[in-house]
A and B are shown apart, each in its own frame.
Chain A
Amino acid sequence: MLDVGRHPNIELMAYSEVDKVEGEAGAFKVTVRRKARYVDEDRCTGCGACAEKCPTVVSDAFNEGLGQRRAVYSWFAQGIPSTHTIDADHCRQLNGKKCGICKKVCQADAIDFEQQDRFIDIDAGAIIVASGYDVFDASRIPEYQYRQIPNVITAIEFERLLSASGPTSGHLHRPSDLAVEEEIKGLEKKAAKALKMLGKFEKKYEKGSEEFYLEYRDGKYEGDEDRRKWAEKYEAYLAVSGPLEEMKKEAEAFDVAKRLAFVQCVGSRDFRFYPFCSGYCCMHSIKEAIIANEHEPETTSVIFGMDIRAVGKGFEEYKIRGGNQSGISYIRGRVAEIVEGPGHNPVVVYEDTRERKVMEQAFDMVILATACAPSRDVEGLAEILGIEINRFGFFQTGTSQPLDTTRPGIFTCGCAHGPMDIPESVAQASGAAARAAQILTDSRMRKAS
């Protein structure tokens, strides 16, 4: 990523989209919409002072909504460019409210609320479309109850939980536990506020609130407006402190998730959604199970899949190593259903094809290996580029030139071309680069420029 940022031959246009393509191979005219960041890319140093002071808290999409960011943000800490961006949907200033704090704290004077989308025309000889894929929305599968059962999460969400730079600093806290802890924090704030208020009354009347309240209940202070308020505040405090204590007791028993289930083919190899195999998910699950076991050696994982497709260099060996050393067992079959058991434990219902029995097993957390879906804007992009998509929703390519799209001069690679793992993406990316160079190199001249 860094190399891209500082390569003199690469002009990086982040936060931008292709708007229009005209012309033909060797002479395309590409119009790029540079979306308004409301931050001057040339001035912003990425120091983050603005995000530190921004009062608006927003769910963090990079962390799959498991964490929070501010309305002015960097996509992720090591992002290239490190330029911050103002989220126009949430920024107070851009929504007509008084704020502008980021502008005040920015020492580089980079905040620009007046910035507009800009359109830039580029003359290009070739185009490579490497627009990737989208993660399948697992909530479309009713029987897995994703978003209904808190401890059923997706593989990419699990990735963020495992990450040392993620929302839990790499500890496998269960989403249900995180929610309770979040609630405890909220209630503690409320309780502290209430106690402060009670303290004022206690000081004024030189009496503990509990003692006062018993007397009040006996009707001792009838008609005393100020004391009635005190009693009200005390009641409000009790309404908070009771549940708070209970929750705290509950939270004491919280532990990191140690019994994991991975469910394969979530949205893949499924005629209701995508008939194809997403290719990388089996290995992704195995990797996540191995890393989880590295974090916490007591962790055991069960991977449920129709086939375990370890079809890459070193993959089968890695799968076996996972089974031998990382507490992974593999069960053949498609999971029928996930239900919620006691203690927010998801229960996986499946048929054990080897034992020929319908089984139920409870886990601390279930991870759904979601399909590699064609990106949501693939049709729009195909239309802009004037290229075709195949029956699976990825860019159509030829057989004799596997990286050529249906329009000469436009090439594709990676998961925009079809589901594939990283080394295949990288190899194809170099291949697409070669095709572009091939058509743009005058064969009589060796040098490209």
Chain B
Amino acid sequence: MNRDIVVIGGGIAGIQSSLDLAEMGFKVYLVEKLPSIGGKMAQLDKTFPTNDCAI
């Protein structure tokens, strides 16, 4: 059985999945179609309800 994991999408969900798995000790391949990760959330100015910076 292979223990590596492919995560498709580098938005907030893909980032969180990847970080959790990587911290558990799994090797993660994070595949993002755009030039950088961050997804929609990177385009946000601030987030509610705490109004702090997005990502």
Contact = CB atoms under 8 A, between A and B. Distances in A.
Chain B interface residue bracket vs A? 35 or more
Interface in A313-331: 313-315, 317-318
A315 B2 contact: no
Interface in A61-106: 62, 64, 73-76, 78-85
Interface stretch (A4-12, A220-228, A244-252, A355-363): A4-12
B55 to A, nearest CB: 6
Interface in B1-29: 1-29
Interface string B19-44: 11111111111111111111111111
A434 B24 CA distance: 10
A73 B34 CA distance: 12
A322 B39 CA distance: 27
Contacts of A264: none
B11 to A, nearest CB: 5
A4 B25 contact: no
Nearest to B13: A414
Nearest to B47: A422
Q: Which of B22, B24, B27, B35 has the most C-beta atoms of chain A within 10 angstroms of its own C-beta? A: B35
B5 A436 contact: yes
A37 B35 contact: yes
B40 to A, nearest CB: 7
A26 B26 CA distance: 13
Nearest to B27: A9
A115 B34 CA distance: 17
B25 A413 contact: no
A94 B13 CA distance: 35
A426 interface: yes
Given A1-B55, A291-B51, A14 B36 contact: yes
Nearest to B25: A448
A110 to B, nearest CB: 14
A240 interface: no
A159 B44 CA distance: 6
Contacts of A128: 5-8, 14, 17
A168 to B, nearest CB: 12
A22 B32 CA distance: 20
Interface stretch (A117-125, A174-182, A270-278): A117-125
A45 B31 CA distance: 21
Contact of A9 (B10, B13, B26, B32): B26
A163 interface: yes
B30 A10 contact: yes
B5 A440 contact: yes
Contact of B31 (A1, A18, A62, A426): A18
27 contacts: A1-B38, A9-B21, A10-B28, A14-B35, A15-B33, A62-B43, A78-B38, A79-B35, A79-B42, A81-B36, A83-B36, A123-B2, A127-B6, A128-B5, A128-B8, A130-B13, A135-B40, A159-B44, A164-B45, A286-B48, A290-B48, A315-B48, A317-B49, A414-B12, A415-B13, A422-B12, A440-B3
Q: Which 7 A-B pairs have the closest CB atoms?
A: A414-B13, A79-B36, A429-B16, A130-B14, A9-B22, A287-B48, A130-B9
